[in-house]
Amino acid sequence: MTRDIKQRKRDHLKLAQDEALKFSTSAGFERWRFIHNALPELDLQEINTGISFLGKELSVPLLISSMSGGATESLAFNASLAEAAEQVGCALGLGSIRAALENESVRESFLVARQTAPAAVIMANLGIAQIITARSLDQTAAFCEELKADGLIIHLNSLQEAFQPEGEPNFKGALSAIQRWVRDFPLPIIVKEVGQGLSVTTIQRLEDVGVTIVDIAGAGGSNWISIERERLGEDQSILKRTAHAFANWGEPTAQVLENLNTDLTVIASGGLKNPLDLPKALALGANLGGVAGPLLKPALEGNVDELVEFLQVWQKTLQMVMFGTGIATIRELVGNRHLLVKN
C-alpha cells in the first residue's frame, strides 16, 4: 500500500505540471479591477501586509498550498518550499501525511519542513477518507506533534477519489467525522477541497458543525479529475472517457467569494495565477490566498531563490495595491469590495 502511495505521489508531481490538465475556464478574478486612488494619504513604507494566523505572525497573507509528501522526491521538494516560506514569512501546507502514518520510513519527507522552517506556519494534511475510517485520532495527533504542526488540513476530494484508479469514494459519514475531529483533535482543523471548490452551501454545512477555517480550493488551476484520468489504464476505458466531461467541473474561486457571507476564516486558493489575484481575493472577503501550481517546477528543481522571488513579487504587488487604493492594513482590505469594480 505504501509503495502504491509513493508511486501515486510521483505520478501527481509529474502530471500536475501538464498545462493540458488544468482548467480551461478561469477562477474568475479577471472580471474585477481595483479603483485607483490618486490621493492615498499614505506613506508607502507604513503599509503593513502582515496578519496573524494560527497564533503566529505572517508577513503576507499567503499560503503555499499542499502539494506532496511521502515520495522520495518529496524530501528535497518540501525542504525547498519550507525554506522559501521561512524566508518570506508565509504559511505552508504539506501534502497528505497518510504515507507517513502507514510507514515510518517516509516520515522524514514531512519532518524536514519544520526542521527547515522553525518559525513558519506549517499545516499537516489528511484526506477525508482517512478521517472517516480512523478509529482513533491519537496516531495523527502524535505525528502532528512530532511535526510541530500548527494545524491539520482535512481535504475533501470526492470526484478525485471517484476517478482515481486506487480511489476510495465512500464519503458516507464525512460531515459527522469532521465534526468529531473539530471537537476532539488538539490542533485547529482547516477543511479544503483539492481544486473542485467548496460551494457556499458546503461552507455553510461545515460552519454548522463547528469548522472555523475553510480553504475554497476552487476551479481554475489544476484539475485533479483530469490528472487522475491520465492515470487510468485501458482496462478502465469507460471511466477514462467519462472523465473528459469533467474537465471544467467545479466552483470558480472568485465566484464563491462573491456569493459568500461568513465570519469564518477563509483561504482562497484554486486558480490564483496573477499576483493581483491575491489582493482581489482579499477584497472579495478571503483572509488569505493560496498558490501551488506556479511553485511546483522550481520546488522540484530545488530552486529556492526562484521560489522566494516569486513569493516576494506577490507580497510587493499586494503592498502596491494597498498603496494604490489608499489602505494601510490587511484588516482594511479584507472584504472591502468598495475597492473593486467589475470590468
Q: Is the pLDDT of residue 86 over 70?
A: yes
Look at the chain and report how many structural domains it folds into.
Answer: 1
Range of the domain at 74: 2-18+62-303
Q: Tell me what the mean pLDDT of segment 71-81 comes to.
A: 87
Residue 45 lies in a domain: no
Look at residue 7 in the predicted model and tell me its pLDDT. Answer: 78
The more confident residue out of 72 and 297 is 297
Contact in structure between 218 and 9 (CB atoms under 8 Å): no
| pTM metric for this prediction | 0.95
Q: Tell me what the mean pLDDT of segment 244-248 comes to.
A: 96
Residue 316 lies in a domain: no
- Say which CATH number the domain at 166 has: 3.20.20.70
Q: Is the pLDDT of residue 72 over 80?
A: no
Is residue 71 very low, low, confident or very high in pLDDT (cuts 50, 70, 90)?
Answer: low
What does the alpha-carbon distance between residue 276 and residue 32 come to, in Å, rounded to a whole number?
10
Residue 221 lies in a domain: yes
Q: Is the pLDDT of residue 70 over 70?
A: no
The more confident residue out of 319 and 21 is 319
Look at residue 16 in the predicted model and tell me its pLDDT. Answer: 83
Is residue 253 very low, low, confident or very high in pLDDT (cuts 50, 70, 90)?
Answer: very high
Look at residue 52 in the predicted model and tell me its pLDDT. Answer: 98
Q: Tell me what the mean pLDDT of segment 211-230 comes to.
A: 96
**Angle of the 138-147 helix axis to the 108-116 helix axis, nearest 10:** 40
Q: Give pLDDT tens digits for 190-216.
A: 999 999 999 999 999 999 999 999 999
Contact in structure between 280 and 340 (CB atoms under 8 Å): yes
H-only helix segments in the chain = 2-15, 74-88, 98-102, 108-116, 128-133, 138-147, 158-163, 174-184, 200-208, 224-231, 237-243, 253-259, 277-283, 293-300, 304-325, 330-333
Gyration radius of the chain's alpha carbons: 19
Q: Tell me what the mean pLDDT of segment 85-100 comes to.
A: 96
Is residue 1 very low, low, confident or very high in pLDDT (cuts 50, 70, 90)?
Answer: very low
Residue 167 lies in a domain: yes
Residue 83 lies in a domain: yes
Q: Is the pLDDT of residue 68 over 80?
A: no
Q: Is the pLDDT of residue 126 over 80?
A: yes
Cell output for 169: 469514494
- pLDDT > 70: percent of the chain: 97
Look at residue 259 in the predicted model and tell me its pLDDT. Answer: 98
Q: Give pLDDT tens digits for 8-32.
A: 767 877 878 888 789 999 999 999 9
Residue 308 lies in a domain: no
Q: Is the pLDDT of residue 76 over 50?
A: yes
Q: Give pLDDT tens digits for 167-194.
A: 999 999 999 999 999 999 999 999 999 9
Cα atoms in the 13 Å half-sphere on the side-chain side of 280: 26
Choose the weakest-confidence range: 7-21, 76-90, 139-153, 301-315: 7-21
Q: Is the pLDDT of residue 3 over 50?
A: no
Closest CA to 288 of 324, 328, 333, 238: 333
Q: Tell me what the mean pLDDT of segment 58-77 comes to.
A: 87
Look at residue 127 in the predicted model and tell me its pLDDT. Answer: 96
Residue 98 lies in a domain: yes
CA distances from 315 to 58, 129, 322 (A): 11, 35, 11
Residue 282 lies in a domain: yes
